[in-house]
Amino acid sequence: MQAIFENFGIYVHVPFCAAPCGYCRFYKRRADGAEQARYVELLAKEARLARGELPESSVDTMFWGGGTPSSLSADSIERLADALGDFRPKREWTVEVSPSTITREKLAAFKRIGITRISLGVQSFDERTLRSLGRAHTLRATLDAIEAVHDENFPHFSIDLIFGAKGQTKDMWIADLERAAQCPVDHISAYCLEFESGTSCCGGIGDDAELEKREREGDFFETAMDKLPELGFAQYEISNYAKDGGECLHNLSTWNMAMWRGFGPSAASQCGGRRFANAADFGKWARGIESGDPQYENIVPLDDAEMLSSALIFGLRMNRGVDMASLAKRFPRADIKKYSESLDFLQSQGLLECSGEMIKLTRSGRLVADSVAVELL
């Protein structure tokens, strides 16, 4: 089997949202049909501009995220797929959808173009939690969406859940986990609510509320780690659980530092010896594409040292951990010994366990994975 880090992925950022969520940090905007049409035309040109640098025959996975890809019309969905030309994935093609914007007509369009995996942003089955999060959909819309996705018989179906919302109790969280596991899905993502700077939710969070939130996070996170495996979903990454064979291949490739190319405003890429992002502004992105001179931001050269650091940090987020000998062989110009002191410290604190060349986070380590990453930077 082809080594996962040799795979190549495509990420497509669809920036449109019917009702942007107050906690969301991703680039998004409202748009009418005319702007959707312009977006598809621009993305087609962006794909043509990038064609010379991409290995068309080796595109393994594709992921449409946002924003909300299901905010596109059925016609725009099919034209967007056509715009990508030959960049069709061989193994997995995921699209994110929302209960508030998905329809049976759009699902049929996704099926026609070859989508193999649907990721539905449920967030909660509790109406109170949905209102707290400012979500546009209701429980009824969620249940209708789940039925519609199931009826189309996509090979893989994932649900996103969020914990840490204001007013959400542990019993409410357990009920969400149990109801999600009863759905016809093979994957569940369980994310902790983050109040990002600059979002509307952030403004209402003071020090006391933040402290209370952090005290609850650990308990809720451990509840998911205990409950979902009991329900048949094994944890394979900090926030992701799957039945056997239900893991997201695109994300696995990304966490293993495979190469990928992003299209659309704000989309990140890792290819051609650098990591970079498209302009996080529709107008700036559009002008760059129209002029034939795409505008990139946050450009980072990808030498062995940078790749080793990223592979170690993201690899430890996965339950299987990382093989230090394999990393040393893969990135021979990097000084892997520089991490010895930090790794020994993390092991002494009970956050890391080692078995030969394999290292992985302990249960306690998974609770503070972000702090572990800071220690390794």
Instruction: Please report the pLDDT score of residue 1 as a whole number.
Output: 35
Q: Are 259 and 54 in contact (CB under 8 A)?
A: no
| Strands of 117-123's sheet in order across | 234-237, 240-242, 187-192, 156-163, 117-123, 92-97, 59-66, 8-14, 259-263, 268-271, 274-278, 296-301
Q: How far apart are the C-alpha atoms of 270 and 158, rounded to whole Å?
A: 25
Residue 5 has a pLDDT of: 57
Altogether, the residues listed in the chain come to a count of 377
CA dist 102 and 83 (Å) reads 21
pLDDT of residue 197: 42
Judge whether 64 and 102 are in contact, CB under 8 Å.
Answer: no
pLDDT tens sequence across 102-115: 999 999 999 999 99
User: Domain-by-domain residue ranges, the chain?
Assistant: 4-254, 304-376
3-class SS of residue 352:
strand
Q: How many CB atoms lie within 10 A of CB 77?
A: 26
Q: Which residues of the chain fall below pLDDT 50? A: 1-2, 195-206
Fold exhibited by the domain 4-254: TIM Barrel (3.20.20)
Long-range contacts of 41-46 (CB under 8 A, 24+ apart): 41/83, 42/285, 42/286, 42/289, 42/290, 43/12, 43/80, 43/83, 43/84, 43/263, 43/264, 44/82, 44/83, 44/84, 44/85, 45/289, 45/290, 46/263, 46/264, 46/289, 46/294
CATH fold of 304-376 reads Arc Repressor Mutant, subunit A (1.10.10)
CA 322/CA 252 separation, integer angstroms: 13
Report the alpha-carbon angle 143-129-221, nearest 5: 100
Measuring CA to CA, which residue among 267, 318, 294, 375 is closest to residue 50? 294
- Distance in angstroms (rounded) separating the CA atoms of residues 155 and 186: 9
What DSSP letter does each residue of 244-292 carry, written as one string?
A: TT-S-HHHHHHHTT-EEEEESTT-EEEETTEEEEE-SSHHHHHHHHHHT
Strand-pair category, 234-237 with 322-323: unpaired
Task: Say what the alpha-carbon torsion angle 52, 262, 251, 65 is, to the nearest 10 degrees.
Answer: -140
- The conformational region for residue 257 under phi > 0 = left, psi -120 to 50 = alpha, else beta, is left
DSSP 8-state class, residue 338? G
- Strand 259-263 with 8-14, pairing: parallel
